[in-house]
Amino acid sequence: MSDRYRDFTSSPIGKLLVKNLGLPNPTKLERYEAGAPLVTGTVGLGGRGRLAESLGGILGTVGIASTEVTGAPEEGQRFKGLVFDATGLTSSADLVALRDFFTPLLRSLETNPRVVVLGTPPEQVSGAERVAQRALEGFTRSLGKEVGRGGTVQLVYVAEGSEGAVTSTLAFLLSPKSAYVSGQVVRIGARGATVAGEVADWQQPLAGKVALVTGASRGIGESIARVLHRDGATVVGVDVPQAADPLQRLMKELDGDWLTLDITGKDAPQRIAHHLEEKHGGVDVVVHNAGITRDKKLANMAEDRWESVIGVNLTAPERITRELLDQGVVNAHGSIIGVASIAGIAGNVGQTNYAASKAGVIGLVDSLADELDNGITINAVAPGFIITQMTAAVPFATREVGQRLNAMSQGGLPVDVAETIAWYANPASSAVNGNVVRVCGQMMLGA
């Protein structure tokens, strides 16, 4: 799916117009290819907090080269990423350390760079330290809108005792897997388990695991299935009977399994639970991806439009999740992942039903995060403008505006959502719980 505007800005006349008219100038985003190194370049490390001494070893575990940086870079030195440990900042006066570290280095970043700041959850500290740690959110979100050239900036709050559980998150955020994720705040160990699960093979962290994906036959669901399969999982795809043919073709290609049913059906949760238990002995990853839109302004909203969207997007995930948990079908240290939407955070004209359903998915995460046991986690992704067959049908002008109103000036791809879900599903992400991460290129408005 080509971005014609981005292609145009790369042409001689396009470059001229961008420069003279101040038009959006999107950079082609690097995305991960199976078997490739996570990072092709060096990550510069700085800061003096709880994680500083261990960062080099942590990154080395997943094959990421790094070096400590204490001042201006050497002549010709370039960085693919930067990680700053800000857990040692205990007052607003200490925040100058951010300027001291980043200002000399930002011009030494390569294209598509990755920046990560590590902090302590503000709710776990008090006084001047709480002030300083909360200030990191404004810093990272602003830097995310400045860094440019396809770069991303994230803040990762690491609870005390969870320092050893950051590997999978740093591997994701420093790699092309997070191409369309920027300006986000991730919490590790703040809710629930603080110890990371074991990963024998970082190329296939889901080897031996079973993953359920609803709405798996096409679009984002198909990408989720493909990425989880790439990471070693046996995928069980679920979709409506009308999508049986493409669902079966995809699952046969991925050596997976399938189940055709309407997830809003009265017995759907029981059928899914029975299938997973009987054929696979349980499930390790549950992805609630199935979703529909029935847009209309509320003044013209018919009852069936409201009920169908709420039923598919929210009530069905609630019922299925509860059944799988009550029946003990979700294996210990399993992962439940909801697909929300930026509309559920910022709202959208004509989508009161859809936005309510997607905000409800975020509510489901929040309600269960502290309730789950056996090391089971629940998180959600909130996609922004993702280029799919559905968005291709949106009127040209509306589509162009939707794609450009983010820090990257372009739409995302289904694989960007899938990679974020695969990070949640990674056993080493077992301390990542109760998070909602936007996959939106850091939207400029509303969220």
> Mind telling me the catalytic residues?
354
Nearest Cα to 353, choosing from 313, 399, 395? 313
Distance CA 282, CA 200 (A): 21
User: Does an H or E element contain 67, and which?
Assistant: strand 65-68
Distance CA 281, CA 75 (A): 57
Alpha-carbon torsion angle 137, 73, 47, 96, nearest 10 = -60
Burial class (CB in 10 A: 0-12, 13-18, 19+), 311: middle
Strand order in the sheet with 283-288: 257-260, 234-239, 210-214, 283-288, 330-339, 377-383, 436-439
Report which residue type is found at 432: V
- Identify whether the C-beta of residue 396 lies closer than 8 Å to the C-beta of residue 410: no
Handedness of CA 195, 197, 200, 205 (dihedral sign): negative
The dihedrals phi and psi of 302, each to the nearest 5 degrees, come to -75, 155
Residue 311 CA to its chain's centroid (Å): 24
At 95, list the tokens: 């925040």
User: Does an H or E element contain 44, and which?
Assistant: strand 42-47
